[in-house]
C-alpha cells in the first residue's frame, strides 16, 4: 500500500475544503437547527463532480476512484456530517447501484443526471420492522402483465422526499428466500408513490430522511435492475462499498472534532496556562489522533481493495465499525475538553458527537459489522 496522497487526492481535498468552508460551514448550524436539506448545495456539489465521483466520464461522472471518493468524504465530514451523509448515500447507494448492477440503457438514462446533480438519488432497503434483519422485508412486488406492482413501505431513507430517483429492494419471492428480492428503479411522481419526512433526529439533521410509501405502484419491467430475485445480493455488495463511505465520513467527523479540540485546548486557560499543557488533556488529543490515523488506514485499505476489484466484505466492515466508533469517541472527548462550552451549540463539539452517532447505526450497526467480520473469519 502506498501511503503518499496522490495528485488527485490532494486536488480533491483542497477543492472540497474550499467548498465546505465557503458553502457549508456558514450555514450548517441553521440547517441543523431547522432540519433543512439544502438541495441547492447538493446541486452545486453535483456541478463540481462530487455526486458522481467514481462514475466514469462517459456517464457524466468525475471518473475518479474510491480512494478519491473517501478523501472527499473525509473533507466534508470535518465540516458537516449531514451533508457528508447525503453525498455518501447519493454516490455509493443509489448511483453506485445503477452503475454496478444496471443495464447499459439504465446507466445511459440515469447516471448522467445523477452524476451531475440534476437528479438527487435515494436507496431503500430498510423497513419499519426490518433494519438489521433486512431479508425479512414485507414490501412486495407482484408481476402484472409487463409491469410490477409494488405495495408496502421503506423507512429511514435518505432523500426519500427530494429524491428524483429511488432504488428500492422489494420482495418478489418467498419470505427469507435470498433469491426472492428484486431491485427496482422508481421515479419521483410515479402514481401511488409518496414519502413523508422523518423529523426530530439527533444528528445529521441537514440530511433528509423519509418514509417511502407504495400503494399499487406500477413499475415497468425495464426498471428492474439486473435479474429478478438478485436484489438482496446486489444490496449486500452495494453495502460493502457503502460502508467505506460511512467509514470515510466517520474519519472526517473524528478529525473535525480533534482539530476543534486542539484549537480550544491551546486557547483555553485554566490554572494560569493553556489546558493543552495538562497531560489529562494532551493525552486525550494523543489518543484521538492515534485512533483517527488508524481509522483512516483501515478506510483507505478498504478503498484500495474496492479500486482493485478484490474482496472487501471484511475490510469494509471493520473500517466502518472502527471508524464510526472512533468518531463517537472523538466527538465525546471534544465535548469533554470544551467542558460547558462543548455542551452548547456555540461550539462545534456537540454537533460532531450527534452526527457521529448515526455512523455506528446507518448502513449496518456496529453489531452487524461484527457479525459480518466474524462470519468472514469463521466461514
Stretch that binds ligand COS, among 75-83, 162-170, 196-204, 229-237 (CB under 6 A): 229-237
How many other C-beta atoms are found inside a 10 Å radius of the C-beta of residue 349?
A: 28
Q: Which of 79, 217, 239, 327 binds ligand COS (CB under 6 A)?
A: 239
3-state per-residue secondary structure call for the chain? CCCCCCHHHHHHHHHHHHHHHHHHCCCHHHHHHHCCCCHHHHHHHHHCCCCCCCCCHHHCCCCCCHHHHHHHHHHHHHHCHHHHHHHHHHHHHHHHHHHHHCCHHHHHHHHHHHHHCCCCEEEECCECCECCCHHHCCCEEEEECCEEEEEEEEEEEECCCCCCEEEEEEECCCCCCCCCEEEEEEECCCCCEEEEECCCCCCCCCCCEEEEEEEEEEEEHHHEECCCCEHHHHHHHHHHHHHHHHHHHHHHHHHHHHHHHHHHHHHCEECCEEHHHCHHHHHHHHHHHHHHHHHHHHHHHHHHHHHCCCCCHHHHHHHHHHHHHHHHHHHHHHHHHHHHHHCCCCCCHHHHHHHHHHHCCCCCCHHHHHHHHHHHHHC
Closer of 46 and 362 to ligand COS (Cβ): 362
Does residue 175 belong to the site contacting ligand COS (CB under 6 A)?
Answer: no
**Shortest Å distance, C-beta 235 to ligand COS:** 8
Q: Which is nearer to ligand COS, 253 or 292 (CB)?
A: 253
Site string for ligand COS, 300-339 (x = CB under 6 A): -------------x--------------------------
Instruction: Check binding of 201 to ligand COS (CB under 6 A).
Output: no
Considering the complex, what minimum distance in angstroms separates the CB of residue 167 from ligand COS? 11
- Quick one: which of 77, 96, 241, 362 contacts ligand COS (CB under 6 A)? 362
Cα torsion at 264, 266, 271, 272 (round to 10°)?
-130
Query: Considering beta carbons, is residue 120 or 265 the nearer one to ligand COS?
Result: 120
- Site for ligand COS contains 126 (CB under 6 A): yes
Q: Does 236 bind ligand COS (CB under 6 A)?
A: yes
Question: Does 166 help bind ligand COS (rule: CB under 6 A)?
Answer: no
Site residues for ligand COS, 252-291, by CB under 6 A, read none
User: How far is Cα 230 from Cα 97, in angstroms, rounded to an integer?
Assistant: 12
Q: Backbone phi, then psi, for 229, in 5-degree steps?
A: 95, -10
Residues forming the active site: 363
Closer to ligand COS by CB, 101 or 107: give it.
101
Closer to ligand COS by Cβ: residue 35 or 363: 363
Which of 212-220, 232-240, 285-293, 337-345 is the region at the interface with ligand COS (rule: CB under 6 A)? Answer: 232-240
Residue from the set 14, 103, 129, 132 that interacts with ligand COS by CB under 6 A: 132
Asked if residue 371 binds ligand COS (CB under 6 A), the reply is yes
Grid coordinates of 35: 432540519
State how far Cα 45 lies from the chain centre. Answer: 15
Of 238, 227, 228, 193, nearest to 212 by C-alpha is 193
Stretch that binds ligand COS, among 72-80, 95-103, 129-137, 333-341 (CB under 6 A): 129-137
Tell me: does residue 103 bind ligand COS (CB under 6 A). Answer: no
Subset of residues 16 to 75 that bind ligand COS, contact rule: CB under 6 A: none
Can you tell me which of 8, 151, 190, 237 binds ligand COS, judged by CB under 6 A?
A: 237
139 binds ligand COS per the rule CB under 6 A:
no
350 touching ligand COS, by CB under 6 A: no
Which of 14, 103, 178, 290 touches ligand COS by CB under 6 A?
178
**Residue 13 is a binding residue for ligand COS (CB under 6 A):** no
Q: Which residues bind ligand COS (CB under 6 A)?
A: 125-126, 131-132, 134-135, 178, 232-233, 236-237, 239-240, 313, 362-364, 368, 371-372
Amino acid at each position: 500500500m502506498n501511503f503518499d496522497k496522490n495528485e488527485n487526492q490532494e486536488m480533491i481535498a483542497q477543492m472540497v475544503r474550499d467548498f465546505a468552508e465557503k458553502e457549508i460551514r456558514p450555514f450548517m448550524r441553521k440547517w441543523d437547527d431547522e432540519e433543512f436539506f439544502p438541495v441547492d448545495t447538493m446541486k452545486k456539489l453535483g456541478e463540481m463532480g462530487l455526486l458522481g465521483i467514481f462514475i466514469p466520464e462517459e456517464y457524466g461522472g468525475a471518473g475518479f476512484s474510491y480512494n478519491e471518493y473517501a478523501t472527499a468524504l473525509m473533507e466534508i465530514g470535518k465540516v458537516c456530517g449531514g451533508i457528508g451523509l447525503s453525498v455518501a448515500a447519493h454516490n455509493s447507494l443509489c448511483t453506485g447501484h445503477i452503475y454496478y448492477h444496471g443495464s447499459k440503457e439504465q446507466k445511459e438514462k440515469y447516471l448522467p443526471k445523477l452524476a451531475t446533480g440534476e437528479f438527487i438519488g435515494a436507496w431503500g432497503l430498510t423497513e419499519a420492522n426490518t433494519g438489521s434483519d433486512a431479508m425479512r422485508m414485507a414490501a412486495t412486488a407482484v408481476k402484472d402483465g409487463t409491469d410490477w406492482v409494488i405495495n408496502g413501505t421503506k423507512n429511514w431513507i435518505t432523500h426519500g422526499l427530494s429524491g428524483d430517483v429511488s432504488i428500492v429492494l422489494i420482495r418478489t419471492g418467498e419470505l427469507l428466500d435470498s433469491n426472492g428480492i428484486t431491485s427496482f428503479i422508481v421515479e419521483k411522481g410515479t402514481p401511488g408513490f409518496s414519502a413523508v419526512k422523518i423529523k426530530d433526529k439527533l444528528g445529521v439533521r441537514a440530511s433528509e430522511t423519509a418514509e417511502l410509501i407504495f400503494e399499487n405502484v406500477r413499475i415497468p419491467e425495464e426498471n428492474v435492475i439486473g435479474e429478478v430475485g438478485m436484489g438482496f445480493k446486489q444490496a449486500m455488495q452495494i453495502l460493502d462499498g457503502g460502508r467505506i463511505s460511512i467509514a470515510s465520513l466517520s474519519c472526517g467527523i473524528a478529525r473535525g472534532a480533534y482539530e476543534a479540540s486542539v484549537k480550544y485546548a491551546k486557547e483555553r486557560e485554566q490554572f494560569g496556562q493553556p489546558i493543552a499543557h495538562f497531560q489529562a488533556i494532551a493525552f486525550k488529543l494523543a489518543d484521538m489522533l492515534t485512533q483517527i490515523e488508524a481509522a483512516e488506514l483501515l478506510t483507505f485499505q478498504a478503498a484500495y481493495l474496492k479500486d482493485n476489484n478484490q474482496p472487501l466484505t471484511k475490510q469494509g466492515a471493520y473500517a466502518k465499525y472502527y471508524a464510526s466508533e472512533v468518531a463517537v469517541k472523538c466527538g465525546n472527548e471534544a465535548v469533554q475538553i470544551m467542558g460547558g462550552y462543548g455542551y452548547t451549540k456555540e461550539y462545534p463539539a456537540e454537533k460532531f458527537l450527534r452526527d457521529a452517532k448515526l455512523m455506528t447505526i446507518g448502513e449496518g450497526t456496529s453489531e452487524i459489522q461484527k457479525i459480518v467480520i466474524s462470519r468472514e473469519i469463521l466461514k
